[in-house]
């Protein structure tokens, strides 16, 4: 089982960090509602939570707000316990 597999479900709001934040750095993440749970994100063969992005702190110029992005259930490098967190319950 992958690190975040089965932890969340469609309709929940999750936050996914781009990299592990440290006290002296701005946290970069996307946050949004899970629209789908897939075994084959973007036909690339990896399990992911597909989210509709409501918040993107990475960049105003290349914002992902309004886009559907894949949040992998596990990454191979630099994985940590808080990379994906539940921010809110089921949205109707």
Q: Comparing C-alpha atoms, which of 55, 64, 40, 47 is closest to residue 7?
A: 47
Query: Under 8 Å CB-to-CB from 22, ≥6 apart: which residues?
Result: none
Tally of structural domains, the chain: 1
What does the pLDDT look like over 29-53, one tens digit per residue?
999 999 999 999 999 999 999 999 9
| Alpha-carbon span 47 to 38, nearest angstrom | 6
Residue for token pair 């970069």: 28
The sheet that has 68-72: what strands, in order across it? Answer: 68-72, 48-56, 29-38, 13-17, 84-88
Give, for 47, the enclosing helix (H) or strand (E).
Answer: none
Confidence band (pLDDT; 50, 70, 90) for 91? low
Range of the domain at 31: 13-88
In a domain, 80, yes or no: yes
- Structural domain contains residue 7: no
pTM: 0.89
Residue 2 belongs to some domain of the structure:
no
Question: What's the average model confidence in pLDDT over 5-17?
Answer: 97
Does position 24 have pLDDT exceeding 70, yes or no?
Answer: yes
64 in any annotated domain? yes
Q: In the predicted model, what is the mean pLDDT of the chain?
A: 92
Domain for residue 60, yes or no?
yes
Residue 77 domain-assigned (yes or no): yes
Express as a percent the part of the chain with pLDDT over 70. Answer: 98
């Amino acid at each position: 089982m992958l690190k975040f597999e089965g932890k969340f479900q469609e309709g929940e709001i999750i936050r996914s960090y781009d990299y592990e934040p440290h006290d002296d750095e701005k946290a970069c993440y996307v946050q949004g509602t899970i629209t789908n749970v897939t075994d084959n994100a973007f036909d690339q063969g990896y399990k992911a939570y597909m989210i509709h992005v409501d918040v993107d702190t990475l960049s105003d110029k290349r914002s992902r707000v309004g886009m559907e992005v894949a949040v992998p259930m596990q990454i191979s490098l630099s994985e940590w316990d808080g990379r994906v967190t539940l921010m809110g319950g089921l949205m109707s």
